[in-house]
């Protein structure tokens, strides 16, 4: 049973580590999508910098969060989970891309599960 739990944790760790890194890196290239389209218009009006620059900052945050998940999943998964909830809330409050908001909430739950699972497995090792 312990081996199966560790395998699940590893799968989640790589999922929630690599996906933010890839999405974060794509904020610089827009190969997957034009990320600026997802910025809440009300937020865009308040930005002291351009939307593309803002998305590059978001990209750096996502890359760092992914690296933390890979290095310390118990901590990094909490960060990614919270980040995904914030993204979902931004989309909900904009009234656009509600399908993506639902997806991000589901992903946040998965990251939450990784955090809790990592806490259990870390205690079992200690």
Cα separation, 38 vs 25, in Å, equals 16
**In which band, very low, low, confident or very high, does the pLDDT at 125 lie, cut at 50, 70 and 90?**
low
**Residue carrying structure tokens 């593309």:** 52
Q: Three-state secondary structure along the chain?
A: CHHHHHHHHHHHHHHHHHHHHHHHHHCCCCCCCCHHHHCCHHHHHHCCCCHHHHHHHHHHHHHHHHHHHHHCHHHHHHHHHHHHHHHHHHHHHHCCCHHHHHHHHHHHHHHHHHHHHHHHHHHHHC
pLDDT band at residue 117 under the 50/70/90 scheme: very high
Which tokens hold the place of 8?
Answer: 């699940």
- 101: which residues sit within 8 A by CB, 6+ positions away? 87, 88, 89, 91, 92
Longest dimension (CA), the chain: 52
pLDDT per residue as tens digits for the range 6-25:
999 999 999 999 999 999 99
Q: Where are the domains of the chain?
A: 2-125
Tens-place pLDDT, residues 82-105? 999 999 999 999 999 999 999 999
What's the predicted TM-score (pTM) here?
0.91
């Amino acid at each position: 049973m312990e081996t199966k739990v560790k395998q699940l944790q590893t799968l989640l760790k790589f999922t929630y580590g690599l996906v933010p890194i890839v999405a974060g890196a794509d904020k610089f290239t827009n190969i997957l999508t034009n990320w600026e389209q997802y910025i809440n218009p009300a937020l865009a009006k308040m930005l002291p910098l351009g939307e593309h620059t803002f998305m590059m900052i978001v990209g750096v945050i996502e890359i760092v969060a992914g690296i933390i998940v890979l290095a310390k999943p118990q901590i990094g998964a909490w960060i990614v989970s919270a980040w995904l909830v914030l993204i979902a809330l931004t989309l909900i409050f904009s009234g656009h891309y509600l399908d993506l908001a639902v997806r991000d909430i589901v992903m946040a739950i998965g990251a939450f599960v990784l955090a809790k699972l990592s806490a259990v497995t870390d205690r079992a090792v200690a």
